[in-house]
Amino acid sequence: MTYQQIFDEALGAPPPTSVDLDGIMVREARRGRLRRLGAYGTAAGAVVAVAVGIGVVVTDRPAVTMPGIVAASSSEAPGDEANKARVRSAMLAAIDREVPGLRWVPDAEHKNMADWSGPTVTDPSWPVSWFSHQSASGWIGAGLAVRGDIRARFSIEISMPKAGQSTEDLTCSGAARACETSRGPNGERIRRVDVDGRRTLPDKPPTPTVSRWVEVFCPDGTQVRVSAVSSSAEFLLTVPEMTAIGLDPALTPR
């Protein structure tokens, strides 16, 4: 799929007859993602990032100061190693509190589900990157997680919109299997989305897959997005587990 095709889908062009999980994820997330991205060139690149389940534009340049764990001291750039280590530790601690015992596939290619079947380890393979684009900046961490027979690309994104961005609308799309909104204990707005998809390989019948994400919108504008894209028809985490991670005090301002 080309950048233009992905961007057309994100803007609402009719889907093809055979819809894969990546396309569904793009259409489900298009309102919030495109609002945050702005310009065409930036949007196309980031929509591709959402479609293949990887991060967004990564930069080592300092960006806006953000609350909670995403704030940098005056002597440290947001993307430096000290801050990166703090964010990584906070993310992994939140995961371990809610879903202890996850295993990880090290050195796997996140875009290629065929590469997710390798041996697992207990030490998390969880790289973290600072990103900054036209509409938002923050941190994203991701890894290939394993729970029983379920394997999924698991990620946490913490971002803060830049000045002038409108408040995200918590709407639900008909493309989702399930979509619900709720409120957190400190006024957070929460949206959970489940989508069905399919994995298509040459000369093989389509394989069902699922994706689930929970978004937490804090009153100060901070957004925490917890997502898992499974290589099978089973979800890696429950909605309460993902919601608890998104509301973890170490990840959100208080």
List, for residues 147-191, the tens digit of each pLDDT value: 999 999 999 999 998 887 777 778 887 778 999 999 999 999 999
> How far apart, in whole angstroms, are the C-alpha atoms of residue 251 and residue 67?
9
> How far apart, in whole angstroms, are the C-alpha atoms of residue 150 and residue 102?
10
| pLDDT of residue 16 exceeding 50 | no
- Average pLDDT of the residues in 63-91: 64
Burial of 54 (0-12, 13-18, 19+ CB in 10 A): middle
Q: Which of 3, 26, 48 is nearest to 193 (CA)?
A: 26
Sorting pLDDT into bands at 50, 70 and 90, what band is 141?
very high
Q: What are 250's two structure tokens?
A: 């170490």
Q: What is the pLDDT of residue 13?
A: 36
Q: What is the pLDDT of residue 106?
A: 94
Q: What is the pLDDT of residue 253?
A: 61
> How far apart, in whole angstroms, are the C-alpha atoms of residue 66 and residue 86?
14
Q: What is the pLDDT of residue 77?
A: 57
The ranges assigned to domains in the chain are: 58-246
Q: Which of 171, 170, 140, 146 is nearest to 158 (CA)?
A: 140
Q: What is the pLDDT of residue 238?
A: 98
| pLDDT of residue 63 exceeding 50 | no
CA angle 1, 111, 115 (to 5 degrees): 130
Residue with the larger pLDDT of the pair 229 and 170:
229
Q: What is the pLDDT of residue 92?
A: 98
Q: What is the pLDDT of residue 181?
A: 95
Residue with the larger pLDDT of the pair 183 and 205:
183
- pTM of the predicted structure, to 2 decimals: 0.72
> How far apart, in whole angstroms, are the C-alpha atoms of residue 248 and residue 239?
14
* Number of Cα atoms under 13 Å in the Cβ half of residue 11: 11
To the nearest whole number, what is the mean pLDDT of the chain?
75
DSSP letter assigned to residue 132 = E
Q: Which alpha helices (H) appear in the chain, and where do they start and end? A: 3-10, 21-37, 40-52, 81-98, 239-246
Residues in the chain: 254
